Chains A and B, each alone.
Chain A
Amino acid sequence: MTPDTAPPNERTDVEIDLGSEQATVDPALFEEAPAEPPFARTVHTTPLHIVTSAESRTNRWTDWNGYTVPDVLTDLGDEYRALRGAAALADHSPLVKYRIFGRDALDYLQRLVTRDLSALEVDTAVHVVFCEGSGLVLGDGLLFRLGEEEYRLVTEETHLAWMMDSAEGFRVGIADVGATLALLSLQGPLSALCLHEAGVANIDGLAPFAARWADIARMPVYVSRTGASGDLGYELWTDAEDAPHLWRHLMEKGAPHGLRATGFALRELARLEAGFPRAGRDYLSVLTAVASIDASTPFELWRSPSIATGKMVFNGGRALRSLASVPPRRRLVVLAADALEPVSLSSVLSGTRQVGTVTTYGFSPALGANIAFAMVEDEAAEGELALTATLREGLGAREVVLRARILREPAWNSARRLVLPAPLKS
């Protein structure tokens, strides 16, 4: 249990005699009041902290959604080779998870997200985007249909206030299950093999974006073929109590095949190579953007966002229908800049004019180039682009301008991601 869910200190009320002329001081005034979340400064750890901290050889930690997670456990290069050549296991529990249930759950979600969910079958998942009335993006995430009237929405940031506001008039329940549901991400070409070795029968028969319950070492685990690595991969959803045991069991069975524990830095690199923008990093939710210019429409963020057309009413629908016909003012693109070593990138230039800003960057070993997510003005995106980079040598720093090109295809997009049956060999 995380510290913020612990019960506050019990306070016994002190009797104060109102008739007394003597001044009395209520001692409770001087007691330290337990701060309430979200203002409390507490360190959250995930249910998997006990196993990830045992794996850490670098003591490099980072903050993800308020949780302490390993940034790099051993070496980013080694972890990357495991991900692209064998399999990588990571703790993704800090993702925000909502359970949405009740008679009107489908109707509620239909209005909440931009895509049409009527074809979503039980035990499958889709990528969803949700907007507010002006058509600006609040967030995106993965929506699982767990049962006839039960769904799970997994997002990068919290959206509870908006979801509660939207729930008015629907018979629907919304629960934040983030603290009780652990999430293990198993990605890489041998991930199916690792699960097979761990005792999941017929894992190769699980279709992309499908999910099912499995029994792994007598622990019930919900296995879904999802993940943002651009390769074959699975996500394992389990109780917080079972999670460390599941991790150890997977490591034990997978290590002979090259499975490695990995950290947050690799996740960022993998999603950059695979081309998945992250809320709060590559775009700002319209409710967090201080200036409205920082908020984005779905057309700016995704090449072909799934937006239901026709009769269905959904949040932002009216605005998006009119936005669909005009070209977006800017676009989130992946840029590649050729340089032999990792550099830090900041702004996008067209000639000498700044036409965009880099939001995430990293060195992609697959391309042998620096790649970056950047928000670029639409008109400039067709022309010659350059990136300003800072090269560090010893203590010195040097500003250089690198030629950049837009990647039309993700840096890593393996066919394995979508084949059925999933390969059990590399």
Chain B
Amino acid sequence: MKWGGVQYDAIVIGGGHNGLAAAARLASGGARVLLAEAGPCVGGAAVTSEITPGYSASAVAHLLEGFPRRIERKLKLHKHGLRYAARDVATVALDRDGHHILLPRTRKEFAGFRDLLPKDADVYREYVARRRALAEFVAPLLGERPPALNDPDALKRFLRRSVWRAALKGGSTMQSLLRVLPEAIGDRLDAEFESPLLKGALAFDATLGGAEGPYAPGTSFRAILREAMRMQGQGAMLPVGGMGAFSDALAASVAAAGGDVRVNARVMRILVEEGKAVGVELSGGIEVRAARVLSAIAPRTTMLDLVGARHVETDDLRELRHLVPRGTTAKINLALDRLPEFSGLAPELHGARLLIAPSLADLDEAANAARSGALPFEPVMEVLLPSVTDPLLAPEGQHVMSIIVHHVPHAMAGGWDAHREALMQRVVRMLGNYAPGIEDMMIAGEILTPPDIEEKYGLAGGDWHQGDIRLDRLFAFRPAPAYGRCETPLPGLWLCGAGSHPGGGITGLPGWLAADAVLSDGGSA
């Protein structure tokens, strides 16, 4: 059916970056696409917002870590305005006494690293090499549609390329792969490293966004997955103008390929006729029809609220029961009247990812506090000063600070309103340990708790990953077996959000892979 005289082949629900990637892929594949976004702008959790007039920061996600180079090239995002303020942003583990650890990327940096941590340096090199080797087995699997669970040949090919390749590489690789799958990152780090700060930083990266602490089984594999995800991209990138500029470039590439991006168009339900998805109903009762509907919003919401239980069998809904996302990460954006001084930090590193995770014990404590519904006493966090490399985000000489606070409970007893201020105070006090006087530099600030993120940016449950990143929730098990390969039990409806393989993070891959699947399915419908 037409809307404004256009007849569509596919409709994408939700204008987050995955929805945009799916729409761009479909449009560049020749399909006439409508993308319907409920909110006033596209981007989902990848947007730039104003803290106070004159000061802007990436509202939720603030770095591009695993956005594949091939997608960026294919969509010509550079042509559509994507520029980077910084490439391969460094990671620094902050130390209270000023002995900060720069996680080395180059030979030169490694020399400095060795001077600081003579005992851990070689172990670290080995650790990184091993992590990289294991990630290389996983990385190609993240960039493709998972094999069907009921197709033994496809599964065999899949295993041959991952596990069997590791076996061929020699006993030790196979051993470490088998060992790493169920292992807790904390145990591994304790066995190998001495520096609590280094261990804290490595475990922070492995657990960020999830609810598990560093001693939870399976977290070691998450470090591998994160590394594999990073391999899709080219290191942590900081777009000029914040993440919103990245989303805008994606939207521009959709438009350039002939796709329609409509904002303020909330999809009320998915139209089902004769057991097939045939279109959507937008707010205001407008019906738009297309043979294929792709949903970039949470799988559970899609099936239960948009499709409706009467069109799906009980078992297919029961599979989604575990998928009630509960974010464990808060975001704080601050406007500062000058550049904060991190004592002992080299000036050129003020634009780096600054990790405040002093030790595994601190991480564990924060995780435990969050699990029991309390605020961590000493929050662990990732701090970024995007205005150091992208000065237009703040007035001259002034800065914005973007903070991801890890291990924050989704729900607080008595509601979040009573606790927002306490969280802010604890974060600022913690920051003050590293950057004295920061509380005097603050002009304005905003705090986004997990429920706030859900409400403002439409991320279900405020969960960055949209479902745990675990081995049993990846590949064709993501989000659930019946929905594994981007498909749903309802013909014509596809899932293209972070709830699908390969999951959360700003990778665009769930959207891209779903659109690929839809295009290759083209002949059969």
Contact = CB atoms under 8 A, between A and B. Distances in A.
Size class of the contact patch on chain A:
20 to 34
Contacts of B311: 313
A112 B312 CA distance: 11
A165 B318 contact: yes
B489 interface: yes
B312 A165 contact: no
A interface, by DSSP: helix, strand, loop or mixed?
loop
Contacts of B304: 168-169
A110 interface: yes
Interface in A218-245: none
Nearest to B308: A169
B315 A169 contact: no
Contact of A133 (B273, B309, B314): B314
B313 interface: yes
B274 interface: yes
B108 interface: no
Interface string A152-190: 000000000010011011100000000000000000000
Contacts of A132: 314-315
A316 B275 contact: no
A133 B313 contact: yes
A360 interface: no
Contacts of A110: 310
A202 B512 CA distance: 70
Contacts of A112: 314
B446 interface: no
Nearest to B311: A313
Interface residues of B, number: 16
A316 B274 contact: no
Nearest to A111: B310
Contacts of B310: 104, 107-108, 110-111, 169-170, 313
B136 interface: no
Interface in A312-327: 313-318
B313 A314 contact: yes
A104 B311 CA distance: 13
Interface in A285-327: 311, 313-318
Contact of A165 (B273, B274, B275, B314): B314
Given A168-B309, A318-B489, A311 B275 contact: yes
Given A111-B309, A169-B304, A318-B489, A313 B275 contact: yes
B317 interface: yes
B316 interface: yes
Contacts of A166: 314
Nearest to B489: A318
A314 B489 CA distance: 12
B312 A313 contact: yes
A315 B315 contact: yes
Contacts of A311: 273-275
A70 to B, nearest CB: 38
B319 to A, nearest CB: 9
Given A168-B304, A313-B275, A318 B313 contact: yes
Contacts of A107: 310
Contact of A111 (B273, B274, B313, B489): B313
Given A133-B314, A134-B315, A318-B313, 11 more contacts: A107-B310, A110-B310, A133-B313, A165-B318, A166-B314, A169-B317, A311-B274, A313-B312, A315-B313, A315-B314, A317-B313
